[in-house]
Structure 1
Amino acid sequence: MSKITFYGHACFCVELADGTRLLFDPFITPNELAKDVDVAAIEADYVLITHGHADHIADAEDILRRTGATLISNFEIVTWFGGKGIEQAHPMNHGGGFGFPFGRVTYVNAIHSSSLPDGSYGGNPGGFVIETANETFHVSGDTALHADQKILGERFKLDFAVLCIGDNFTMGPADAALAAEWLHVKKVVGVHYDTFPPIEIDHDKARGEFAQRGVELLLPAIGETVEL
């Protein structure tokens, strides 16, 4: 079983059964809701970035330098970090997969936008499917509901998904619940909600949207670890 620690917004770490730590979309220090998280104590073997917006990469450079983790993202983001001296990295693009020591990563479609904090081109936004010896899961990144989520549900046997649910900039709870149904998952960890006023949600109502489709929505507190 994997352990997921939520660090606020869309940042979380998945500790795989073999001990490998996958940190996604590190945005912690600018997030007032995550003020009690000690960023310097976060360890990672890999840092996976879905797209280039500042609310997904704010702490990435510092964490990559401190931990020596390998960056996994699209070609443009990897190139941008390369310009900052981050060379331990693996670029990907949509539909492509690659086998890492912990398992296979596939970079998949997301419907959103992407630019880097300095205004440079961030490539197309994406999500990930992670396949390990013990489980397979999907991380949506920031996205709208889209029909490719049906394809992922057919292509992969997913054990769980991490989906954006905050509405306004991404799927809201109703669309994310439908995405979960298309993905054929029964457990979802919700992310990208409550950080800013436009994406504040009613937690009970959100859980209800998922429950109507037979899916459990997990909303861990910032700093909380859950097992899946």
Structure 2
Amino acid sequence: MKFTFLGHACFFIDTGKEKLIFDPFLTGNSQASMAAENVRCDYILLSHAHSDHFGDANEIALRTGAMVIAIPEVIGLFAKSLSNFQPMNLGGTFKADFGTVKMVQAFHSCGAAGGIPCGFIISFKDGPTVYYSGDTALFGDMKLFGELYNIDYAILPIGDNYTMGPDDAILAAKFLKAKHVIPVHYNTWPVISQDGEAFKKKAAEEGVDVILVQPGESIDL
């Protein structure tokens, strides 16, 4: 199984059979390592509808026919000609061929009227458990996620200003009991500029393993 970072908060998880893309903001993203028209995927998972997360989702869904997993209000933003949706809400679980997707809360705004942001805990069949928080502040129920799930990889924002920053992300990793942390949502713009190496060093001092993945790079999960 492979994780590929495409820049900002957009990434692929490739199981070898299915390819999942998360928050496909590529057009207009200075970090983007792939053009939207080159994306091939089977699933599109959206944490919320801000432009730096919803991004190219509609175009990719129209072209590929990928299933969109999101809350109903975000799904309502897609072209009416599309029909391959898996609407969910907080606490719900979707059983897919690759494993299970649990939709969990995030503390942020949504970008879709009446909607709420979310994160995902994905338990892959014969593979790792991956938590993607989406854009969020630190919150106490991350401790509950750590109790309920054996989280191998936590994909967390560290940019600060719009989301939690490095110090809170380290605390989140401890709450989650995550074996590894992959930071995202930083250095796209000056307002969310962070030193990834400094974050990794400080996290290591507190017993948290950080894997820095640059845009365009892949790692095996």
TM-score range, shorter chain: over 0.9
Q: Are positions 1:126 and 2:118 aligned together?
A: yes
Runs of 4+ in 1 over 4 A off after TM superposition: none
Q: Distance in 1 between matches of 2:80 and 2:7?
A: 26
Count, aligned residues:
220
Q: Would you say the 8 A contact 2:23–2:57 is kept in 1?
A: yes
Q: Equivalent pairs: percent with the same residue? A: 44
Q: Tell whether the 8 Å contact from 2:93 to 2:103 is kept in structure 1 after alignment.
A: yes
CA distance in 2, matches of 1:122, 1:77: 9
- The SS at the match of 1:32 is coil
Q: Is the 8 A contact 2:22 2:45 kept in 1?
A: yes
Deviations 1:32-74 (A, max 9, x none): 222x523222211100000010000111111111111000011
CA deviation digits over 1:189-222, x for unaligned, max 9? 1110001111010122211232122222122111
**Alignment pair present for 1:179 and 2:172:** yes
Deviation at residue 137 of structure 1 after TM alignment? 1.1
Asked if structure 2 preserves the Cα contact closer than 8 Å seen for 1:173 and 1:209, the reply is no
Distance 2:137 2:124 in 1: 26
**C-alpha distance in 1, partners of 2:90/2:136?**
14
Correspondence for 2:100: 104
Give the aligned partner of residue 91 of structure 2.
Answer: 95
Unaligned runs of 5+ in 2: none
SS of 1:23's partner is strand
Aligned equivalent of 1:25, options 20, 23, 44: 23
Alpha carbon RMSD of aligned pairs, Å?
Answer: 1.3
Matches within 5 A, 1:1-228: 2-16=1-15, 18-34=16-32, 36-81=33-78, 83-116=79-112, 121=113, 123-133=115-125, 134-228=127-221
* Separation in 2, partners of 1:132, 1:163: 19
TM-score (norm 1): 0.92
TM-score, length basis structure 2: 0.95
| Residues in 2 aligned to 1:122 and 1:221: alpha-carbon distance in whole angstroms | 34
